[in-house]
Structure 1
Amino acid sequence: MTRTTPLTELDHRYSDPGATPAPWEEGVRLLEAAELYWLSTVREDGRPHVTPLIGVWRAGAMHFTTGPQERKARNLAQNPQVVLVTGTNALSQGCDIVVEGEAVAVTDEDTLRSLAEAYEAKYGKNWHFDVRDGAFYGQGDDRAEVYAVTPWKAFGFGKGEPFGQTRWSFA
């Protein structure tokens, strides 16, 4: 059973003495606001694959797209477990968010229409998608599969004063 409100813990081994655990709402705010994410999948031979992508947070899950023949789609077909990361490249400010979960295909067309609207609202007209046949279709009529990652576990790495590592457990 997956909970919607996670167990929240501060890892004192990697946190300053004055640090407190970040609330999950702060993690969600950062996931919603980020423009770019990094997705890690696993190749059939066990080697990792990492790629930048755009996405939207909706209904308790991170959503992203991929073409059916892209490396990440082929990886997900044989192993749906992923890690999705966003944050800053600064050491002394901001917060990095790491989400662990399983990528599940989204094919319900009402849900896809809502997600297509969310993509366009977040990224602009160049990211308009039509919905049909259980997928997104972009410019040039290219098909994009849509996936949702509902967190099993997530981490927040607060940087600066104070440094802190929060773990959110959903399982």
Structure 2
Amino acid sequence: MRTPDTSLDPRFSDPDAVPTPWSTAVDALATAQLCWLTTVRRDGRPHVTPLVAVALDDAVHFCSGPAEQKTLNLRHDPHVALLTGSTEWDRGLDVVLEGRAVRTTEQQVLRRLAGAWGEKWDGQWQFDVRDGAFRHADGGEALVFTVTPDRAFAFAKNPFGQTRYVF
């Protein structure tokens, strides 16, 4: 696991807060059932969508159909924010990654990721790998993207603490 420079921002943290370890933030991403992805449309407007993702090899991976809005957005601007967390004000941990979404096409990596998807969701997400993409049982194609963070943030609650990670 890459080790980022980690700092607690005292402006947004309780006096008794401590930085959230990067391993805790990674665990939150790895166990999240749902993430939200923000991409940028051609006209500059943000596009936010929920999706399932897999954390593996110091990155977070997601998939999208070739004609989906997020895929169209990534063709002209690969910068994304990917986040997960709790909807409760005073419990849980929210994690935000910032980076570039890069298409993953290597067959061996895709096979590992397909296995990770199936394992994480007890077989509910099953993909075959062919021609540099995932294939659904109905033959539909899903492109796979990898986000390796440039920076990330963890927002701890109770005590409140904002941790910044720079890679």
Q: TM-score, normalised by structure 2?
A: 0.98
Task: Write the distance in 1 (CA, Å) between the matches of 2:127 and 2:39.
Answer: 24
Task: Write the distance in 1 (CA, Å) between the matches of 2:37 and 2:66.
Answer: 16
What residue in structure 1 maps to residue 91 of structure 2?
A: 93
What residue in structure 1 maps to residue 57 of structure 2?
A: 59
What residue in structure 2 maps to residue 167 of structure 1?
A: 164
What residue in structure 2 maps to residue 110 of structure 1?
A: 108
What residue in structure 1 maps to residue 133 of structure 2?
A: 135
Shift of 1:123: 1.2
Among 39, 42, 45, the alignment partner of 1:41 is: 39
Task: Write the distance in 2 (CA, Å) between the matches of 1:68 and 1:27.
Answer: 30
User: What SS does the aligned partner of 2:134 have?
Assistant: strand
Task: Write the distance in 1 (CA, Å) between the matches of 2:3 and 2:121.
Answer: 28
Shift of 1:98: 0.3
Task: Write the distance in 2 (CA, Å) between the matches of 1:53 and 1:68.
Answer: 15
- Unmatched runs of 5 consecutive residues or more in structure 1: none
Number of matched residues?
Answer: 167
Give per-residue Cα distances to partners, 1:73-92, cap 9 Å, x unaligned.
00000000000010010000
Among 74, 78, 81, the alignment partner of 2:79 is: 81
How many percent of aligned residue pairs carry the same amino acid? 51
Amino acid at match of 1:127: W
Task: Write the distance in 2 (CA, Å) between the matches of 1:48 and 1:97.
Answer: 19
What residue in structure 2 maps to residue 26 of structure 1?
A: 24
Structure 1 runs, 4 residues or longer, greater than 3 Å off: none
Amino acid at match of 2:29: L
Task: Write the distance in 2 (CA, Å) between the matches of 1:71 and 1:102.
Answer: 16
User: What SS does the aligned partner of 2:16 have?
Assistant: coil
Amino acid at match of 1:166: T
User: What SS does the aligned partner of 2:95 have?
Assistant: strand
Among 61, 66, 69, the alignment partner of 1:68 is: 66
Q: TM-score, normalised by structure 1?
A: 0.96
User: What SS does the aligned partner of 2:124 have?
Assistant: helix
Asked whether 1:4 is paired with 2:7, we answer: no
Task: Write the distance in 2 (CA, Å) between the matches of 1:123 and 1:26.
Answer: 21
User: What SS does the aligned partner of 1:35 have?
Assistant: coil
User: What SS does the aligned partner of 1:124 have?
Assistant: coil
What residue in structure 2 maps to residue 13 of structure 1?
A: 11
